[in-house]
């Protein structure tokens, strides 16, 4: 398989330094070699340009969303690059950076495939809007925007309107949801697999239920977006928004491999590794293991 690696050194969505270093940090530790060793033709497309902006200007365009203009620009460019990659017959592997980039990568997928779904593996829902977000950090808003909810500036990234049917969205590993997110989940009847459910029913139950729904809803293409904070911080401390009692690595790997076995996954994100917060490269090593498992099963 031809895999295009796209680095997005974006930290504006989380408003915290360090996460922007992740793409180069993983490259320096053998990212491209690892992919090629698994038998793929891998091409490093480099890092997307992230416009410089001062902290004093974070609310220049909006009182409720930080760095809006710059994040929209990066996501528009990412969407085009992901779309071009798919149209060229390659697999886009997007390395972040913070999870606000998921808006751009999934928007590029949505232009290529109308019948697509999103699996969002994350400790958080990322379905706040500009009206419900307690922080103003856009990395907590991309998935709601992809479903057509919230700020028009985010909803209309790359193309006007929603990019994905809410019924084709699957949230997995969630254990930290804000009040506005809980209301949206109930209103839209989203498929959400919390850690409480995973602990009671098991990760295999979750994978089987998602596979069943993918078939029932005739979803033929999937964008798989992975936040490393879905993993318990005892195993992955190097991320900016740790939440206790997450997935253990064996559960995580089992789920990822199960989703890849459907042969529906056409693009992926790996986000929120912050090398500045890592302890002895513990999370970095785990991220490389994740990429190894992904590329072994593609």
pLDDT 10s digits, 5-63: 999 999 999 999 999 999 999 999 999 999 999 999 999 999 999 999 999 999 999 99
106: its two tokens: 């999934």
Phi/psi at 39 (nearest 5 deg)? 90, 15
- Mean per-residue pLDDT, 133-158: 98
pLDDT in tens, 65-84: 999 999 999 999 999 999 99
Percentage of the chain beyond pLDDT 70 is: 100
- Mean per-residue pLDDT, 272-282: 96
CATH of 2-297, one of 3.40.50.1100, 3.90.550.10, 3.40.50.2000, 3.40.800.10: 3.40.800.10
- Concatenate the DSSP letters of all residues of 80-135 into one string: HHHHHHHHTT-EEEEEES-GGGHHHHHHHHHHH-TTEEEEEE-SB-----TTT-SS
CA diameter of the chain: 49
Delimit the domains of the chain by residue range. 2-297
Q: CA–CA separation, 109 vs 98, rounded Å?
A: 19
Asked if 71 and 138 touch (Cβ cutoff 8 Å), the reply is yes
Q: CA–CA separation, 105 vs 223, rounded Å?
A: 8
- Predicted local distance difference test score (pLDDT) of residue 93: 98
Model pTM? 0.98
DSSP designation for 59: T
- Predicted local distance difference test score (pLDDT) of residue 298: 95
- Res. 188: pLDDT tops 90: yes
32: its two tokens: 């491209």
- Predicted local distance difference test score (pLDDT) of residue 279: 85
Q: Kindly report the average pLDDT of the chain as a whole number.
A: 98
The residue behind tokens 């990822």 is 256
- Count other C-beta atoms under 10 Å from residue 26's C-beta: 22
- Res. 4: pLDDT tops 90: yes
pLDDT in tens, 197-223: 999 999 999 999 999 999 999 999 999
What residues act catalytically?
Answer: 99, 122, 124, 126, 139, 227, 229, 272
Phi/psi at 2 (nearest 5 deg)? -90, 125
DSSP designation for 167: G
Q: CA–CA separation, 199 vs 181, rounded Å?
A: 22
Q: CA–CA separation, 9 vs 63, rounded Å?
A: 24
Q: What residues are paired with 191 via a beta bridge?
A: 170
State the pairing for strand pair 169-174/116-121. parallel
């Amino acid at each position: 398989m031809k895999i295009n690696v796209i680095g997005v050194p974006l930290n504006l969505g989380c408003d915290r330094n360090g996460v922007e270093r992740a793409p180069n940090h993983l490259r320096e530790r053998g990212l491209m070699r690892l992919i090629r060793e698994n038998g793929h033709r891998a091409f490093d497309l480099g890092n997307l340009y992230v416009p410089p902006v001062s902290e004093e200007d974070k609310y220049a365009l909006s009182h409720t969303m930080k760095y809006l203009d710059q994040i929209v620009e990066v996501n528009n460019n990412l969407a085009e690059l992901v779309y071009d990659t798919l149209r060229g017959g390659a697999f886009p592997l997007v390395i972040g950076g913070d999870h606000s980039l998921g808006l751009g990568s999934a928007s590029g997928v949505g232009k290529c495939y109308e019948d697509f779904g999103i699996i969002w593996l994350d400790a958080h829902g990322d379905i706040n809007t500009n009206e419900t977000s307690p922080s103003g950090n856009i990395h907590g808003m991309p998935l709601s925007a992809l479903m057509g909810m919230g700020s028009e500036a985010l909803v209309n990234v790359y193309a006007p309107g929603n990019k994905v049917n809410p019924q084709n969205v699957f949230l997995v590993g969630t254990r930290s949801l804000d009040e506005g997110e809980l209301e949206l989940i109930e209103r839209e009847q989203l498929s959400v697999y919390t850690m409480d459910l995973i602990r009671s029913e098991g990760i295999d139950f979750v994978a089987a239920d998602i596979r069943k729904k993918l078939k029932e809803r005739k979803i033929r293409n999937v964008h798989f977006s992975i936040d490393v904070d879905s993993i318990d911080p005892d195993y992955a401390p190097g991320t900016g928004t740790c939440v206790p009692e997450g997935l253990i690595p064996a559960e995580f790997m089992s789920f990822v491999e199960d989703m890849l076995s459907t042969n529906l996954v056409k693009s992926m994100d790996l986000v929120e590794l912050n090398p500045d917060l890592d302890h002895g490269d513990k999370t970095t090593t785990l991220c490389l293991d994740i990429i190894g498992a992904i590329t072994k099963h593609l």
